[in-house]
A and B are shown apart, each in its own frame.
Chain A
Amino acid sequence: MKLIARKPALIVFAALASGLLLAGTVLVGSAWAQTKYKESPALAEEVKAGKLPAVDARLPEQPLVVPVVERAGQYGGVWRRAFLGPADANNYVRVVYDSLFRFSPDGAKIEPKLAAGAQPSADYKQWTITLRKGSRWSDGAPFTADDIVFWYKDIALNRDLMPAPPPWIRNADGSPALVEKTDTYTVRFTYKEPATLFLTALANADGADRGYAMFQPAHYLKRFHPSYTPKEEVDKLVQAAGFKTWGELFATRSQPPENPDRPSMAAWVSESRISDPVFTLRRNPYYIGVDPEGNQLPYLDSVRFTYFADTQALNLAAIAGDFDMQERHIVMTNYPVFKDQERTGKYRVITWPTFGGADAVLMFNQTYTADPEMGKLMATKEFRVAMSYAINRDQIKESAFLGLGEARQGIPAPWHPYFPGDEWAKKYTEFKPDEANKLLDQIGLTKRDAAGIRLLPNGKPATIEISVVPAFGAWPDVAQLIARDWEKVGIKSVVQIRERALHFTMRDANELMTEIWNEDTSAFPFTGNAKMDVRNAVILTLGPLYTKWLATKGKEGVEPPPPVKRLLELVDLARTVGPDEQVKAAQELFRVWVDNLYEVGIIGLTPMVQGVVVANAKMRNIPTTLGNDWPLRSPGNARTEQFFLAR
């Protein structure tokens, strides 16, 4: 494999040779094989010029057949898009959704993508993944079980690269699961416990978060890895690139958006870097997918991300019709302007409401200590219920959400199997200021000052600070409206709009009283970093001291109360039981979540989070409804490779 290293002529030769070999072995004797699949005219030219093997030889024996949304498309064209710089790498991740398995467009199923299939053992402790025979990396090298084993052995278990293996390949005791190659195209994962969420994990093991996808081009990356290349040679490369450690070098070399040389399996591969002002992807001639008529995908020649320093400038460019399809960073508050300008015919507007949860929820810190009296109050359920009843959600919906969505708690959408029922979706969301006042009186906040603000037992006015990050459109407005409602029942409310990093630092330090965020991952309570699991430190104001207590095994922090512990039990349970039991566990989890109201849901099921789609009128095969959520990598689950520009 070292031959493919540096010389372009050799790459072509190797690709050609292996292509011919494949054509010779697999398709031998089938005269019609030459015309079995069709390809882009641009690639056909290259084949004619002898730069590429024929399309049939480039595709695996059984390609992925991708259903089309409207009709089989036409080849060619550039998908113009915008991004906000290197930190916006998820923009790329969502477009390519490069993984072995992926979510279906509605988000309800998990389907094979690069892999041909996966088979669990009867007890779900063992999973066997089958790859597609004859599939190839974008440089023509075969894609095999070795590429997964390389990831497992040399990345996931390498402490220089990963401080700990990804949670989904760990057993309950923290040890890594066993990953073995059984033959060229099959890999077996063995866990100590049943791993019923295995496929969900695979659907997210796609190299997001600047992490590592669970399959890596071993033939290319070995040259940057000291296990395969002498340390001195790697060190030379490290120094030449200006890095300090080989881990830093390896990270940038292995991540497609940062390195156009790295072979990829995605429909489009990087042509420039994400740190460039324009980040371009071009068609992968070896992409494993075809449409039902046998046309190799993708239809579009390239994807071009243009850098924007400012979201509003990006939105203005979208209104000017500069993008062919963009949902990321399109701000919902601009929705009326988009609709108004839709008449010019340059684009159409599609909305994809969130798939689960609420688009603004207010969470109370259960372990707030800076003001013990307020901390105690926030840890009192009656208080939280009163605060929920005091909010006029209809008004918030009209003024901050343009009348879209509905008042609801942060639980999955009604069409999702984890939905526990309307009773919980709507619980405590009515506007009942009288009830709120009654509850507040009951818990002893009866004295008020001259301005009508209730007094705490220590004589100070009851004051809540709402910390809000202007990350998604309307949150600061939501906060202001809540504050006004709360003042009416005698709770003084201060809105603090904070810069993200400051907000996060304060959250870690247990300095936030409340915060507004969304509940966009609520359809996935058992994977990723769901908020209901206080062991996840990242997206949480619920109880930083609970998190600490659990992390230090009770030495520091505060012991979580029984309902919070029950949430953890349910998460652990769901990770080891079959699908039906998972649904039951999820429903109970959401009932506990809503009954205790650690978090007050405001408005949900709006297209606020990347749900307003601006698409060129000519850009076709974009679904009009789509499960829209981060774990689904939307628009990735819309199967972007079948998007096309009609002529």
Chain B
Amino acid sequence: MIAYILQRLLLLPVLLFFFSIMVFAIVQAPPGDFLTSYVATLAASGSSMSAEHIDALRHQYGLDQPLIIQYLKWVQNLLTGNLGLSLEYQRPNADLIGEQLFLTIALALFSFVLTWVIAIPAGIYSATHQRSIVDYVLAVFNYVGVATPNFMLALILMWLAFAYFDIGITGLFSSEFAGAPWSGAKVVDLLKHIWLPALVLAIAGTARLTRVMRANLLDELNKPYVMTARAKGLNEWRVVLRYPVRLAFNPLVSTIGWYLPALFSGSLIVATVMNLPNIGPLLLRALVNQDMYLAGAILLIYCFLTIIGTLLSDILLVWLDPRIRLGG
């Protein structure tokens, strides 16, 4: 097991190297560079910059150098743990990402917990009460949940909250708390705001998870060992919860690995629409503005998380289900 983990970890730098090339290529793919988009932004807000100034800035930022040189410099910085400087913010990328990291994780965990807390019982109930009224009702909810794009849901809920409850729900904080240092009042303010975005993010996941749980459990419920357990006179709930539910978890656990990067990227559009201060909108902005080192840093972090996440889910699976073996 340890050898397996080590082997996987050794592969990490190689994978990251390939990812860094891909990330750089993707970030560089759109025509123009940061200054083109910067000038475009200026023009749209009425002001402008002289051509000489633009050229000088391009030189200052090293954007006039060949791509390969820009890439090598970037990687060289990365190797020394330096994520580089954001062109737009003129601040170290590590600071920018770090600032948003806590809220990103808080929101993601909140919605993750919400998803599992709703979906698992719902899935179990649906499976054990197949074709009951509740099962059908849940099914309808699930289909709607999966079919509705998250951002659409966010917009509808935002409008409803505004139109009927007269509350404006954008952001994770009221404006007087957003820039304030952490305090009890700020946490309360966060809790007041976080439920709606978390719910929006959780709904699609819940729907999917409920269906998966239901299907997995139905497979297990018809297996002979369940019948044996029943025949031995075990209480029905104990029968279901003891073994089939545990086994039904397998496919869910195997997707936890994907969940890790999705924690950060999944909420991009919702976060933008709901004005949440997390990494999603930061990445979107960086891509639109061609703030290449910031976008590159965030994308590379996603790649890293995907690799780590996959490893984690592999380890979890082995731990959960001894039938799964490593290798051959």
- Chain A residues proximal to chain B, CB less than 8 Å: 78, 80, 85-88, 90, 162-164, 166-167, 208-209, 211, 242-245, 247-248, 251-252, 258, 272, 275-280, 304, 306-310, 312-314, 316-317, 319-322, 469, 471-472, 499-506, 508, 520-521, 528-529, 536-539, 551, 609, 629-631
Residue of B nearest to A537 (CB): B51
Contact mask B85-113 → A, CB, 8 Å, 1/0?
Answer: 10011111000100000000000000000
Of A307, A319, A630, which contacts B45 at CB under 8 A?
A630
> B271 to chain A: closest CB distance in Å?
7
Of B48, B85, B92, which contacts A209 at CB under 8 A?
B48
B288 pairs with A520, CB closer than 8 A: no
Given A310-B272, A502-B32, residue A163 in contact with residue B53 (CB < 8 A): yes
Given A85-B285, A317-B170, A504-B32, residue A520 in contact with residue B39 (CB < 8 A): no
Q: For the complex, give the distance between the alpha carbons of A244 and B47 in Å.
A: 27
Given A310-B273, A504-B40, A505-B32, residue A80 in contact with residue B88 (CB < 8 A): no
Q: Enumerate chain B residues within 8 angstroms of A278, measured Cβ to Cβ.
A: 175, 178-179
Which 3 A-B pairs have CB atoms at the shortest separation, nearest pair first?
Answer: A630-B46, A320-B168, A278-B179
B43 pairs with A538, CB closer than 8 A: yes
B168 pairs with A87, CB closer than 8 A: no
Of B92, B162, B178, B289, which contacts A277 at CB under 8 A?
B178
Q: For the complex, give the distance between the alpha carbons of A209 and B281 in Å.
A: 24
Q: Enumerate chain B residues within 8 angstroms of A90, measured Cβ to Cβ.
A: 42, 45-47
A322 pairs with B46, CB closer than 8 A: no
Of the candidates B88, B162, B166, B275, the one having the most CB atoms from chain A within 10 angstroms of its own CB is B275
B275 pairs with A313, CB closer than 8 A: yes
Q: For the complex, give the distance between the alpha carbons of A195 and B60 in Å.
A: 32
Count of chain B residues near A, Cβ 8 A: 56
> B165 to chain A: closest CB distance in Å?
11
Of B30, B47, B50, which contacts A164 at CB under 8 A?
B50
A306 pairs with B178, CB closer than 8 A: yes
Q: For the complex, give the distance between the alpha carbons of A242 and B159 in Å.
A: 43
B275 pairs with A502, CB closer than 8 A: no
Residue of A nearest to B276 (CB): A309
Of B36, B39, B52, B89, which contacts A163 at CB under 8 A?
B52
Of A243, A508, A536, which contacts B48 at CB under 8 A?
A536
B175 pairs with A306, CB closer than 8 A: yes
Q: For the complex, give the distance between the alpha carbons of A251 and B87 in Å.
A: 13
Of A275, A307, A316, which contacts B277 at CB under 8 A?
A307
Contact mask B21-37 → A, CB, 8 Å, 1/0?
Answer: 00000000011100011
Q: Enumerate chain B residues within 8 angstroms of A308, measured Cβ to Cβ.
A: 170, 275
> B134 to chain A: closest CB distance in Å?
36
User: In the complex, which residues 34-81 of chain B have their Cβ closer than 8 Å to any Cβ of chain A?
Assistant: 36-53, 55-56, 60
Q: Enumerate chain B residues within 8 angstroms of A538, measured Cβ to Cβ.
A: 39, 43, 48-49, 51
B92 pairs with A306, CB closer than 8 A: no
Q: For the complex, give the distance between the alpha carbons of A309 and B282 in Å.
A: 8
Given A499-B288, A504-B39, A504-B40, residue A313 in contact with residue B273 (CB < 8 A): yes
Residue of A nearest to B86 (CB): A275
Residue of A nearest to B154 (CB): A313
Given A245-B60, A313-B273, A520-B46, residue A162 in contact with residue B53 (CB < 8 A): yes
> A178 to chain B: closest CB distance in Å?
21
Residue of A nearest to B172 (CB): A277
Q: For the complex, give the distance between the alpha carbons of A162 and B54 in Å.
A: 10
Q: For the complex, give the distance between the alpha carbons of A46 and B89 in Å.
A: 34
> A477 to chain B: closest CB distance in Å?
17
Residue of A nearest to B53 (CB): A163
> B13 to chain A: closest CB distance in Å?
25
Contact mask B151-192 → A, CB, 8 Å, 1/0?
Answer: 000000011001000111011000110110000000000000
Q: Enumerate chain B residues within 8 angstroms of A87, measured Cβ to Cβ.
A: 38, 41, 88, 289
Given A258-B90, A537-B51, residue A275 in contact with residue B175 (CB < 8 A): no
Residue of A nearest to B159 (CB): A316
Q: Enumerate chain A residues within 8 angstroms of B277, measured Cβ to Cβ.
A: 277, 307
Residue of B nearest to A306 (CB): B175
Asked whether B115 is an interface residue with its Cβ less than 8 Å from the other chain, the reply is no
Asked whether B274 is an interface residue with its Cβ less than 8 Å from the other chain, the reply is yes
Residue of B nearest to A328 (CB): B45
Q: Enumerate chain A residues within 8 angstroms of B166, measured Cβ to Cβ.
A: 320
Asked whether B316 is an interface residue with its Cβ less than 8 Å from the other chain, the reply is no
Q: For the complex, give the distance between the alpha carbons of A244 and B31 in Å.
A: 26
A209 pairs with B47, CB closer than 8 A: yes
B96 pairs with A163, CB closer than 8 A: no
B60 pairs with A503, CB closer than 8 A: no
Of the candidates A86, A87, A252, the one having the most CB atoms from chain B within 10 angstroms of its own CB is A87
Given A87-B289, A306-B175, A501-B30, residue A319 in contact with residue B52 (CB < 8 A): no
> B33 to chain A: closest CB distance in Å?
8
A501 pairs with B31, CB closer than 8 A: yes
Asked whether B284 is an interface residue with its Cβ less than 8 Å from the other chain, the reply is yes
Of B50, B159, B284, which contacts A309 at CB under 8 A?
B284
Q: Enumerate chain B residues within 8 angstroms of A209, measured Cβ to Cβ.
A: 42, 47-49
Of B41, B47, B50, B176, which contacts A500 at CB under 8 A?
B41
Given A501-B31, A503-B40, residue A630 in contact with residue B47 (CB < 8 A): yes
Contact mask B268-304 → A, CB, 8 Å, 1/0?
Answer: 0001111101000100110011100000000000000
Q: List 12 A-B contacts (CB under 8 A).
A: A164-B52, A243-B85, A304-B175, A309-B271, A316-B162, A471-B44, A500-B41, A503-B40, A504-B36, A504-B39, A521-B46, A539-B43
Q: For the complex, give the distance between the alpha carbons of A166 and B48 in Å.
A: 12
Q: Enumerate chain B residues within 8 angstroms of A163, measured Cβ to Cβ.
A: 52-53, 55-56
Q: For the complex, give the distance between the alpha carbons of A403 and B82 in Å.
A: 54
A277 pairs with B51, CB closer than 8 A: no
Q: For the complex, give the distance between the alpha carbons of A537 and B55 in Å.
A: 12
> A459 to chain B: closest CB distance in Å?
32
Q: For the complex, give the distance between the alpha carbons of A211 and B171 in Å.
A: 31
Q: Enumerate chain A residues within 8 angstroms of B32, measured Cβ to Cβ.
A: 501-502, 504-505
Beyond A309-B275, A501-B289, 13 additional contacts (C-beta under 8 Å) are A85-B88, A163-B53, A279-B179, A309-B271, A317-B168, A322-B168, A472-B44, A500-B44, A502-B31, A504-B37, A504-B39, A520-B46, A609-B46
B178 pairs with A500, CB closer than 8 A: no
Q: Enumerate chain A residues within 8 angstroms of B41, measured Cβ to Cβ.
A: 87, 500
> B163 to chain A: closest CB distance in Å?
10
A501 pairs with B85, CB closer than 8 A: no
User: In the complex, which residues 174-225 of chain B have their Cβ closer than 8 Å to any Cβ of chain A?
Assistant: 175-176, 178-179
> A8 to chain B: closest CB distance in Å?
19
Q: For the complex, give the distance between the alpha carbons of A272 and B32 in Å.
A: 32
Given A208-B47, A320-B162, residue A505 in contact with residue B36 (CB < 8 A): yes
B45 pairs with A275, CB closer than 8 A: no
Residue of B nearest to A609 (CB): B46
Residue of A nearest to B42 (CB): A209
Q: Enumerate chain A residues within 8 angstroms of B51, measured Cβ to Cβ.
A: 537-538, 551
A86 pairs with B89, CB closer than 8 A: yes
Q: Enumerate chain A residues within 8 angstroms of B96, measured Cβ to Cβ.
A: 275
Of the candidates A310, A501, A508, the one having the most CB atoms from chain B within 10 angstroms of its own CB is A501
Residue of A nearest to B162 (CB): A320
B40 pairs with A501, CB closer than 8 A: yes
Of A321, A499, A528, which contacts B168 at CB under 8 A?
A321
Q: Enumerate chain B residues within 8 angstroms of A279, measured Cβ to Cβ.
A: 179
Given A313-B273, A538-B39, residue A167 in contact with residue B89 (CB < 8 A): no
Q: Enumerate chain B residues within 8 angstroms of A528, measured Cβ to Cβ.
A: 47-48
Q: Enumerate chain A residues within 8 angstroms of B178, measured Cβ to Cβ.
A: 277-278, 306-307
Given A87-B289, A278-B175, A521-B46, residue A502 in contact with residue B90 (CB < 8 A): no
B90 pairs with A252, CB closer than 8 A: yes
Of the candidates B88, B168, B290, the one having the most CB atoms from chain A within 10 angstroms of its own CB is B168
Q: Enumerate chain B residues within 8 angstroms of A276, measured Cβ to Cβ.
A: 179
B48 pairs with A309, CB closer than 8 A: no
User: In the complex, which residues 206-253 of chain B have their Cβ closer than 8 Å to any Cβ of chain A?
Assistant: none
Q: Enumerate chain B residues within 8 angstroms of A306, measured Cβ to Cβ.
A: 171, 175, 178
> B57 to chain A: closest CB distance in Å?
8
